[in-house]
């Protein structure tokens, strides 16, 4: 059974966490490169896989294919909202991270699992779909768009509850997903989320009408990720 080291980082500044991701990401890639130089493959060291859960203080992040015009605040307004902004090296457009949102960063070597980035994204989505089902929230995918959606078949009601944005190099992943549990949804009004201006954003709290047990939701999501990817936690 494959092993993944899990860390719950609590609340951590976005840039501090991004730097930590980059450190783990580089270490994994360096190990893979080192392994390929070995004359005897039996001497290879299996790169460590990681899963980080974290909450960030209010922050907006723009992916490398995104449009800065989708951030609707200027520098002064960002400060007034007690928020920061970063242009980063993941795919996708703009999104928001904040307290009571589960942000997950799998830093895993897909050579140990399967070399299919689309399957990887679908598994991340499926883990969230299964977690929501534990709370009797029916969710699904929306054709042509990543993430997890409620009422995706109804254009007037479709709303996103989890966003995805990843980077993959040498089949090693970083960045990941953001799952709205008890998120302050007003912050999504300050952007055009993921560049999609005709869809709403929601959270578990909004859908169920009551604040959710954040630690319980994290625990259920951890279990579903391990089952889907067939790994054990270190």
Angle between helices 214-229 and 117-133 (to 10 degrees): 140
Instruction: Provide the domain limits for residue 89.
Output: 2-233
Confidence of residue 198 (pLDDT cuts 50, 70, 90): low
Contact residues for 74 (Cβ-Cβ < 8 A; gap 6+): none
Domains contained in the chain, number: 1
* Structure confidence by residue, pLDDT tens digits, 160-194: 999 999 999 999 999 999 999 999 999 999 998 76
* Structure confidence by residue, pLDDT tens digits, 38-81: 989 888 999 999 999 999 999 999 998 889 999 999 999 999 99
Residue 155 has pLDDT above 90, yes or no: no
Tokens of 159: 């709303």
Q: What is the pLDDT of residue 144?
A: 86
* Structure confidence by residue, pLDDT tens digits, 205-228: 999 999 999 999 999 999 999 999
Across the range 20-32, mean pLDDT stands at 98
Please give the mean pLDDT across all residues of the chain: 95
Catalytic residue list: 194
Tokens of 25: 């990401």
Q: What is the pLDDT of residue 41?
A: 85
Q: Determine the Cα–Cα distance for residues 38 and 139; give it in Å rounded to an integer.
A: 46
**CATH number of residue 104's parent domain:** 3.30.930.10
């Amino acid at each position: 059974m494959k092993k993944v080291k899990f860390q719950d980082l609590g609340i951590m500044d976005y840039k501090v966490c991004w730097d930590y991701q980059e450190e783990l990401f580089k270490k994994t890639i360096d190990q893979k490169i080192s392994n390929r130089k070995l004359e005897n493959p039996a001497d290879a060291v299996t790169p460590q896989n990681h899963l980080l859960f974290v909450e960030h203080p209010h922050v907006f992040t723009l992916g490398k294919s995104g449009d800065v015009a989708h951030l609707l605040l200027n520098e002064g307004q960002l400060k007034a909202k007690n928020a920061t902004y970063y242009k980063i090296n993941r795919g996708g457009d703009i999104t928001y991270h904040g307290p009571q949102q589960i942000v997950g960063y799998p830093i895993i070597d897909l050579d140990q699992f399967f070399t299919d980035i689309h399957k990887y994204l679908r598994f991340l989505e499926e883990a969230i779909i299964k977690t929501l089902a534990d709370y009797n929230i029916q969710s699904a995918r929306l054709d042509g768009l990543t993430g997890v959606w409620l009422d995706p078949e109804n254009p007037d009601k479709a709303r996103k509850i989890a966003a995805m944005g990843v980077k993959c190099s040498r089949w090693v992943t970083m960045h990941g997903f953001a799952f709205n549990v008890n998120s302050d949804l007003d912050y999504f009004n300050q952007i055009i989320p993921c560049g999609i201006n005709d869809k709403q954003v929601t959270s578990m709290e909004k859908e169920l009408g009551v604040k959710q047990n954040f630690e319980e939701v994290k625990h259920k999501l951890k279990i579903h990720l391990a089952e889907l990817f067939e790994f054990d936690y270190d």
